[in-house]
Amino acid sequence: MCGIFACYRHPDVQKFKPTALKMGKAVRHRGPDWSGNWIANDTILVHERLSIVGVDSGAQPLVSKDETISLAVNGEIYNHRVLRKQLAKPYEFKTHSDCEVIIPLYLEHGIDAPKFLDGMFSWVLHDKTANRVIAARDPIGITTFYMGRSSTTPGAVYFASELKCLHPVCDHIVAFPPGHVYDSNTDELTRYFTPKWLMEPTSTPTTPLDYDLLRTTFERSVRKRLMAEVPFGVLLSGGLDSSLVASIAQREVKRLNAEAKSRTNGAANGVGGDHLVGIDDGDHLSTVQVLPELNSFSIGLPDAPDSKAAQEVADFLGTKHHNLTFTIEDGLNALSDVIYHLETYDVTTIRASTPMFLLSRKIKALGVKMVLSGEGSDEIFGGYLYFHAAPDKKAFHEECVRRVKNLHLADCLRANKSTSAWGVEARVPFLDKQFLEVAMNVDPAEKMITKDRIEKYIIRKAFDTSDKPDAEPYLPDKILWRQKEQFSDGVGYGWIDALKDTAEKMVSDEELANPKKEWGDDVPDTKEAYWYRCMFDEHFPPYCAETVMRWTPTWSKQSDPSGRAIEIHQDKYEDA
């Protein structure tokens, strides 16, 4: 991940520059490799870079040869090589960065440029000649992005990767909506990502299930996310989603290493060789760095359920596994920092983010800059245990759509900010545009949980090779068919219990009954929620709360959002 800050139409941009650089420095954790800035007319772009692709030449902001177009990007464009070949007019590229292709796309397509991008991104582009700013965010909101305004500079518009860049200079901030593009010519946001499943959630899909298509589309999604020129790995909780990602990534690494070995042998025989192996452009992918082995990472309290499962998966796949532990005291000590980096007070997000935050620090210490992660699957396939209570397929589908639409305020925010806090980038294959088009259009009757079908049955079945004797299994059966554990539960049940117990000591009954007036109607309903909100207030002014969403299950009377609180979880493990 990188960090960006931008301001358009500032009344005195040169005088504002030191402040802008300070705001950019507030997200230097996202981009520790280099800092850059660019001023044109009344606009300034500030960029903090994490170099993963185009390492030698991709410093930002990126500027066109004639210096009329400047661009600051946070993200990865997986189809950049294909886009370069498809440009209608020749463009003289200055770098090998995957992001530079956005400039010629803007020159050819204007505000439609984001429609052509396959990746995760937030960016701000300035056209000096037209004095125009275009800003965009990826379809699901994998990368965090905010937009702000200030009553002291009423004509200016501010953009940043995180809240902490904006609240010192803005008194009104919103989360930039995913799948939208902002155009300063109209001062409006327009949705560019408009699939039917998203735009018409009450229209229940009827597409028949195709297991082969589901599997091959997801495999392609994982492969394209291996685009990197630096060491990378996989987050492996031991649950279904991260285990599938790890399995496919390991297969691809083995294939690429075999090809590299073949090329090396060919070079020794005078045929020629290359340390980078290209993935077929027909798959709209790019090159990856060949690694001798794939690193996998897990974290938990001692004897945590997920850690045991993760080790089993790693042993099965043959990854170089790092099974890390943390103590309850480690987690409690990190809470204030976690909330500062997450910029939320949502209970579910904070519970799950704390172990991920601690793990990311250790990953960075091991020299890894990019990891694959399994976010999104539960939203797409109705994997949360409360989906057992869905009354019918229409309601099931509508809840899946609602969850996907809110990912940028929940699991995407968690994955992005927990890892970016330590200069690590998380990529999420389940949220690939092409895979979403396939998975979200499947008849939701196929996703329903029944007495014969466990949650996420269809994605499990798509990777089940038990009826193919000659096929190499993707995962052990006990992992492929393991019941859902929410990450905050799977790292060890003692973690959530400790949070509740500590909150009981930190917040009195009187305080819970008399919430702060500035909280308005957004009143915490538990002492744990109250405690987190107080820590949030220590870091951010009250108006920043408008960017926060609290995660709650549907069709459930439980006040606690933990999957362990859902009755089906207890029944399952009592029967085990």
Annotated binding site for ATP: 235, 299, 373-374
Q: Is residue 61 reached through a cis peptide bond, with omega within 30 degrees of 0 on the bond before it? A: yes
Distances (CA, A) of 555 to 376, 391, 438, 489: 20, 9, 26, 20
Cα torsion at 474, 477, 481, 484 (round to 10°)?
-80
Cα torsion at 76, 82, 88, 92 (round to 10°)?
60
Tokens linked to 277:
């192996």
> What is the β-pairing status of strands 34-40 and 132-137?
unpaired
Ramachandran angles phi, psi of 150, nearest 5°: -130, 135
Provide the 8-state DSSP code for 255: H
Q: How buried is residue 51: exposed, middle or buried, by Cβ count under 10 Å (0-12/13-18/19+)?
A: buried
Distances (CA, A) of 433 to 139, 241, 370, 541: 8, 17, 20, 35
Name 325's bridge partners: 300
3-state secondary structure of 109: helix
Catalytic annotation, pick one of 2, 165, 170, 544: 2
Say if CB 548 and CB 175 are below 8 A apart.
Answer: no
Identify residue 320 by its one-letter amino acid code.
K
**Ordered DSSP codes for 510-532:** HHHHS--GGGTT---SSHHHHHH
Q: What stretch of H or E contains 393?
A: helix 393-405
Tokens linked to 205:
């899909």
- The length of the chain is 576
Which residue, chain included where needed, has tokens 């299950």?
553
How far apart, in whole angstroms, are the C-alpha atoms of residue 222 and residue 429? Answer: 5
> What is the β-pairing status of strands 180-183 and 188-191?
antiparallel
Q: Please, what is the end-to-end C-alpha distance for the chain in angstroms? A: 41
Is 99 part of the annotated catalytic residue set?
A: no
How far apart, in whole angstroms, are the C-alpha atoms of residue 142 and residue 238? Answer: 22
| Torsion sign, CA atoms 241, 243, 244, 250 | positive
Nearest to 74 by CA among 103, 107, 46: 46
User: How many Cβ atoms from other residues are within 10 Å of residue 389's Cβ?
Assistant: 17
How far apart, in whole angstroms, are the C-alpha atoms of residue 385 and residue 555? Answer: 10
Annotated binding site for L-glutamine: 98
Tokens linked to 477:
């059966």
Provide the 8-state DSSP code for 207: B
Active site positions, annotated: 2
